[in-house]
Amino acid sequence: MERQGLLEMEQEVTVIESQLPTSYYYTIVPAVAMSRNYPAYERLQSKKGIVKEINQTSRGFYTIVEFDEEDI
């Protein structure tokens, strides 16, 4: 995440999945944060999650989103 204040704790967010040749990545809609690349075996099933942490580092803001993958 680039700027503070774009997300709030416990906010429900939707992600869109994008495919690379050998992996997938996710973007929080509307394009406020992007994930690292994930191999196919770690691909998300759920597209909605809850913001659990927002951390600021020297490289920017990092957001942790929890997805309920058990009910899918």
pLDDT at res. 1: 63
pLDDT at res. 5: 83
Q: Which pLDDT tens digit goes with each residue over 22-54?
A: 999 999 999 899 999 999 999 999 999 999 999
List of long-range contacts for 38-44, beta carbons under 8 Å, 24+ apart? 43/17, 44/15, 44/17, 44/69
Longest dimension (CA), the chain: 36
d(CA 10, CA 53): 9
In the chain, where the domains are located: 12-67
Confidence class of residue 63 from pLDDT cuts 50, 70 and 90? very high
d(CA 5, CA 60): 13
In 3D space, the residue among 48, 40, 52, 41 whose CA is nearest the CA of residue 69 turns out to be 48
Helix spans in 1-72 (H): none
pLDDT at res. 35: 94
Task: Output the pTM of the full model.
Answer: 0.84
